Structure 1
């Protein structure tokens, strides 16, 4: 009875449910996690405008336990931030966690995985993208020759049209042959 704190209006919660793979309860849990990153910056009750304008800096977001160990944490934050710099609003953070949730469909996970690996944003995963991916995955423990061999092998195996880069369809084809890949493509809230 009494003083229950209302974080979002009913309409806001309905809108978030419509745009994510989360229940109301999960949305409130996501907000709690977002607010815990910087309670001084994030108000306990968000107006619609604040859910898009209050941003937590990339450096703080990278420290979240769900992202801290992920070698792609910076790239993920940059991809989901509206400005591309990695500072996340609540809505950006909600989108990020929704895509990485277990409830998100396979095709959405594949689409975002492709975008994460497409560092230069040219709609293809080329040799430079694969080089950056390998450097992050291996923490730069491979020699340049070893990296080049892996890049050449990946392109040889996956490049169907012979243009020395992977299109989304080629990437998707590779991912369907590696079902374990998507099972690791999630973050728990």
Structure 2
């Protein structure tokens, strides 16, 4: 894979490095990871797209209960299939890198958890988050889920409108020192 450098001009590498939290060498390493996802179809082509299914099989995402949401958030696919171009993949890896600031990670976590994509976290969104974190169906009885949702809203919903704005979510996350540990992918 030493030929990855030949797929980028010096200016492209510089631009990728400036637009991400990666060095030029790390950008090349991310490209190698991208090619490894679907070697038959990518064939060292930085313009190719990799299916969401293949990206979700990466060891770093395979066990993440939000892997499909992560792909959808970073995908620029016109047909909304969650496939990722190299630039999409680079953006995703950059946000999940150790060098990315906490504020950026919080912003993308909010997008991942906002299942109905209305820029608010309502009871349905939070129930989906809890369900995925606890193993989906049957993990909590209905009354237990309702009590948990009530407790979350009491703690986090500062304006009592039964939904969390980005600012309220950010406030809650600021109290969670472990958040950064759960929102990263190492190269």
Task: Identify the TM-score tier after normalising by the shorter chain.
Answer: over 0.9
Residue 66 of structure 1 corresponds to 60
What are the ranges of 5 or more consecutive residues in structure 1 without an aligned counterpart? none
Q: Deviation per CA, 1:61-94: give whole Å up to 9, x if none.
A: 1111010000000000011001342111110000
Which one of the candidate residues 167, 170, 173 is aligned to 1:172? 170
Q: Displacement, 1:96?
A: 0.3
Distance 1:63 1:129 in 2: 24
Question: Aligned to 1:129, what secondary structure does the other structure show?
Answer: helix
Contact map agreement 2:95 2:105 (CA 8 A) in 1: yes
Once the two structures are overlaid, the 10-residue window that deviates more, 87-96 or 144-153, is 144-153
Partner of 1:91: 87
After TM superposition, the score normalised by the length of structure 2 is 0.92
Question: Deviations for 1:14-68, whole angstroms, at most 9, x for unmatched residues?
Answer: 110111000011111100011001111113254xxx2xxx111111111110100
The 2-side partners of 1:8 and 1:131 are apart by 43
Q: Matches of 2:4 and 2:142 in 1, distance apart?
A: 59
For residue 39 of structure 2, what is the aligned residue in structure 1?
39
Contact 2:95-2:104 within 8 A present in 1 as well: yes
In the alignment, does 2:144 pair up with 1:150? Answer: no
| 1:116 paired residue number | 112
CA-based RMSD of the aligned residues comes to 1.4
Distance 2:89 2:121 in 1: 25
Q: Which runs of 4+ in 1 moved over 3 A?
A: none
- Is contact 1:8–1:45 with CA below 8 Å preserved after alignment? no
Deviations 1:149-175 (A, max 9, x none): 111110110001110000011001001
- Cα offsets for 1:81-110 (capped at 9, x unmatched): 013421111100000000000000111011
**Counterparts in 2 of 1:126 and 1:5: CA distance versus 1, 3 Å:** closer
| More moved, 98-107 vs 173-182 | 173-182
- Tell me the equivalent position of 1:107: 103
1:6 and 1:45 in contact (8 A); partners too: no
Q: Output the CA distance in 2 between the equivalents of 1:5 and 1:172.
A: 39
Distance 1:153 1:37 in 2: 41
